[in-house]
Amino acid sequence: MIKKVSIIIRTKNEERWIASCLKKVFSQTYKNIEVIIVDNCSTDKTLKKLRDFDVKTITVKDFFPGKAINDGIRVSTGEIIVCLSGHCI
């Protein structure tokens, strides 16, 4: 059985990078993935750009990098976890 991978991506005003990041994530040959965006109350167009992708989004107000990752992991369903930031391509 192919293991499911949960990709947790932290964002805060990543409108410049998030579409490129997600295009690269979804262009991988490994397809058994879920993408979870943990957004820190972005005020730019980050959230609008997410509408073009099959992602689950959660919002955190009190942002700490480790806590954001843990929040993403809590809602994940994959057996393998990958952590990225919204500007990673």
**pTM recorded for the entire structure:** 0.93
Q: Smallest Cα–Cα separation from 57: which of 88, 11, 24? A: 11
Average pLDDT for runs of 10 along the chain of length 89: 95 96 97 97 96 96 84 97 93
Q: Which helix (H) or strand (E) holds 47?
A: helix 46-50
What does the pLDDT read at residue 64? 76
pLDDT for the residue numbered 55? 98
Q: What is the pLDDT, as a whole number, of residue 47?
A: 97
